[in-house]
A and B are shown apart, each in its own frame.
Chain A
Amino acid sequence: MNKSIILHVLGWILNFEAAFMVLPIIVALIYGEKSGYAFLITIGICLLIGLPLALFKPKSRIFYAKEGFVSVALGWIMLSFIGALPFYISGQIPHFVDAMFEIISGFTTTGSSILSDVEALDYCMLFWRSFTHWIGGMGVLVFILAILPLARGESMHIMRAESPGPSVEKFVPRMRTSASLLYGIYIGMTILQILLLLAGRMPLFDALTLTFGSAGTGGFTIKNTNIMSYSPYLQNVITIFMFLFGVNFNFYYLVLLRKAKDAFKMEEVKWYFIIVVIAIVLISFNTGQVKGFFGAIHHSAFQVSSIITTTGYATLDFNYWPTFSKTILMLLMFIGACAGSTGGGIKVSRIVVLFKTIGKEMAYLVHRRSVKVIKLNNKKQENETVRSINVFFVTYMIIFGASLLIISLDNFDFTTTFTAVATTLNNVGPGLEIIGPMGNFGGFSDLSKLVMMFNMLAGRLEIFPILVLFSPSTWKR
């Protein structure tokens, strides 16, 4: 393995993280908060390690799939470790495991929190927490790729390891242009949401942090009451934007190219839309008897789009919903958003392919000689892709089971334990019962928190980059 180029990439990640931390410092200056010094110290540490690594020319520029996986996985772990330092140094989250949990939940756009009182945090800390959602949503390395020519032709390996979805495609031939386009769309939509929220008289700080949370499909809020206290207009804006950020970004690229017709033909987006509509209708009917029909649609739309995109905002405590509605929400957690969006979960395209595989198997059982090609977007899915989706699903289930077993040691009720794993592995945020939208993860043991941190990273990077890190053959010469 080419260690020198991986160190070089890691060096650049540190430098970029230092640059990102300038923003919370500005926030600290505006609000006159002393805890801003914690960011200064962290920036110092970043640059001290990062600059020499980045400026040092790597011995060889060889960069293969292995290097791609390892630098992405290590990069994310390092990003989280450094990102947790400000919380720890300033003493705002005194226990280091908690600080790590909080920041990993941030970068992986999960939004699960160990804090029982969010409002006790300083503004700069709240800002940093939410800003990590925004960075993590589209990916740090993709951001770096848009600016720096890190590894020339082989940058595809980085993109593939960091971007969600079974098969990653570029919009245009150049990786750099592709990454810039991706971030361009991302930034454009973020600004639009901020403006719309400001138009609804939301304070600037709230608008920024909540937009970061919905753009990255994260879910950290800055109030103990989550999104409840905002006006219905603001809640609706957030509903729509959460939904939009869960759409495959190829869709927006096609729309920008004025190929809206092709965009609306995207099978994954179609299914995503259908699932959302069905879930909203079912939940509205199920909860409607309690609160009146229009209120029910408003709330179910918000919750559905929050959970399927794996954001995790809430306008009410859905712990009190009927079991049928709660079960639908839980299924949505697993389905997740579209591939190529900022959302987590298994991804709609994988689910669609899995269902088509079932159809293929049935046809094969009845007609032994039948040959059927699995198509998505009217395009043949290579056997390799289908196989890797199957393996992904199996691995996902194994990790789920193992995590469930370890976390059950804490002896919480089954619903809490089960949804804790589901919500972290799918990067959603809240679960049910104790960890519901108004609850928090503070009560779990450190071991459970470590397992959940692993789950969040594995979920965000789609399992294999993180697993590759633990495979002995990666490190053998």
Chain B
Amino acid sequence: MNIIIVGCGKVGVTLAEQLDQEGHNIIVVDNKSSAIDSVTNFMDVMGIVGSGASYHVLLEAGIENADLLIAVTGSDELNLLCCLIARKAGSCHTIARVRNPQYNDEIEFIKEEMGLSMTINPELETAVDMAALIKLPSAIDIDTFAKGKVELLKFQVPENSVLNNIKVMDLSSKLHSKVLVCIVEREDQIFIPSGSSLLYANDIISIVASHKNAIDFFQKVGILVNSIKNVMLIGGGTLTVYLAKILADSGIKVSIIEQNTERCEELSDLLPNAMIFNANATEKNVLQEEGVEDAEAFASLTNYDEENILLSLYAKKRSKAKVFTKITRMTYDDIVGELPLGIIINPKLVTADRILQHIRAMENSKGSNVETLYKLVDNKVEALEFYARSNAKLLGVPLEKLQIKPDILVSCINRKGRIIIPNGQDHIQVGDTVIIVTTIRGLNDLNDILQQ
């Protein structure tokens, strides 16, 4: 694909590097010639100096033949403008980084109206990732799809579990838990279970469920959920706000230490349920006084990598908490990797990862009605995203009444941004995005899932 990347910051460079290696033709645009120089000197990409929001610069970059434009400059407005102009000048897909929380509340509208393929909010995405890691016990693997909105939770059924010898359709009646079993791996075999499939101990199963239901389910099944109740966050940036919101919503106690008094007041306004401390966390007794020893998770999220490293090292020593360290500059990642810093968080890498995922999915689904295609479980299972148009034959019919082919499962319905994990009574409407999990290859249309 021909890809134009506007903005040569860390995200832009990471994307260029990765996409270049994957064999795409990359053109980078930035208005600093030094930034362009340093990229073109060590990568086989073309650089253009100029503003990405200028029609002429985009023409020079070949917008007419471009398949995709990614705007990742530091300014939200510039990113959106780039995408808007690119959309009108060529007919390419566009991806914009939009991080202002104010826009974030209206992102669906902006996306729709501006014809964006994807928007990404680094802090929000990172917060979602972190929250999932904090909330889930380590025995469970997470795979995400549907542009990161749906999580596939993978675990091994323990011996003596209630799941041993149970039919998939009995899960809800016997366990009273609402989860959808998507994939079963048994020894070398991988299959999509139907209602009458039996589960056994030692099967590795992947489920889709909302967080609450998942935790409930795991408790019933006998997987230890040592759920965390007490989290300490250092630094009150945007990432902290998003994270604290998600954590507070699932009933976790959050304490935040922030140095700036004014910011503390803002935080207290934004996060009524969180404990806000106005203090400098690097002063020795502050952490101790505010209870670092009792924290079950600890995240240092200030804007200074060095400070974060120090704080995390201290927390690791003083408590048994799950530690998270935000590190933005990855230059010395080999040295940092050797330190006991727990899980390293890098919003820029998360951003780049998400965009890459999107591009790969975009490329996989070229030339069919599939919106996106994800490969799961070592590429053996495909998750396909279809858009339900008015010609689909299965509209309005409850799923349990449909004659769906074996080895196909409707795992998720995205109705205007709301994720529905369907049971037999749910149905598909026009405008829904439907995610199908299957081991069958070559499905091209939503109607293909029905038996002829």
Contacts and interface: CB of A to CB of B under 8 A. Distances in A.
Instruction: Answer yes or no: do A and B interact.
Output: yes
Interface of A: 65, 152-157, 170, 172-177, 382
6 contacts: A153-B43, A153-B44, A154-B42, A155-B44, A156-B41, A174-B44
A387 to B, nearest CB: 14
Given A172-B25, A173-B26, A382-B33, A157 B41 contact: yes
B153 interface: no
B41 A154 contact: yes
B45 interface: yes
Give 6 nearest A-B pairs by CB, closest first: A153-B43, A173-B25, A173-B46, A153-B44, A175-B44, A153-B42
A371 to B, nearest CB: 18
B168 to A, nearest CB: 49
A173 B45 contact: yes
Contacts of B33: 382
B247 interface: no
Interface of B: 2, 20, 25-27, 33, 40-46
A172 B48 CA distance: 11
B27 A173 contact: yes
B158 to A, nearest CB: 47
B25 A174 contact: yes
Contacts of B2: 173
Nearest to A65: B41
Q: Which of B2, B42, B44 has the most CB of A within 10 A?
A: B44
Contacts of B44: 152-153, 155-156, 173-176
Nearest to B23: A174
B46 A172 contact: yes
Contacts, number: 30
B28 to A, nearest CB: 9
B339 to A, nearest CB: 27
A23 B46 CA distance: 35
Contacts of A153: 20, 42-45
A223 B45 CA distance: 46
Contacts of A173: 2, 25-27, 44-46
A172 B41 CA distance: 15
Contacts of A157: 41
Nearest to A169: B46
Nearest to A149: B44
Nearest to B50: A379
Contacts of B42: 153-154
Given A173-B25, A173-B26, 17 more contacts: A65-B41, A152-B44, A153-B20, A153-B42, A153-B43, A154-B41, A155-B44, A156-B41, A156-B44, A157-B41, A172-B46, A173-B2, A173-B44, A173-B45, A173-B46, A175-B44, A176-B44
Contacts of B20: 153
A156 B40 contact: yes
Nearest to B41: A156
* Residue from A153, A176, A177, A382 having most chain B Cβ neighbours under 10 A: A153
A122 to B, nearest CB: 43
Contacts of B27: 173
Contacts of B26: 173
Contacts of A155: 44
A456 to B, nearest CB: 29
Nearest to B25: A173
A173 B26 CA distance: 6
A152 B42 CA distance: 8
Contacts of A382: 33
A72 to B, nearest CB: 16
Nearest to A259: B59
A235 to B, nearest CB: 40
Contacts of A170: 46
Most buried by B among A153, A155, A173: A173
Contacts of A172: 25, 46
A65 B46 CA distance: 17
Nearest to B26: A173
A176 B23 CA distance: 12
A174 B25 CA distance: 6
A386 to B, nearest CB: 13
A250 B337 CA distance: 47
Nearest to A68: B41
B282 to A, nearest CB: 39
A175 B47 CA distance: 12
A155 B41 CA distance: 8
Nearest to B62: A172
Nearest to A178: B46
A151 to B, nearest CB: 9
A174 B27 CA distance: 9
B27 to A, nearest CB: 6
A175 B25 CA distance: 10
B398 to A, nearest CB: 50
A65 B20 CA distance: 20
Contacts of B25: 172-174, 177
A152 B27 CA distance: 16
Nearest to B20: A153
A429 to B, nearest CB: 35
A24 to B, nearest CB: 34
A143 to B, nearest CB: 17
A152 B41 CA distance: 11
A173 B41 CA distance: 12
Residue from B20, B25, B40, B41 whose CB has the most chain A CB atoms within 10 Å: B41
A385 to B, nearest CB: 10
Contacts of A175: 44
B434 to A, nearest CB: 36
A173 B19 CA distance: 12
A171 B338 CA distance: 43
Contacts of B41: 65, 154, 156-157
A375 to B, nearest CB: 13
B41 to A, nearest CB: 6
B319 to A, nearest CB: 43
Nearest to A170: B46
A266 to B, nearest CB: 14
Nearest to A157: B41
A382 B33 CA distance: 8
A133 to B, nearest CB: 29
A157 B42 CA distance: 9
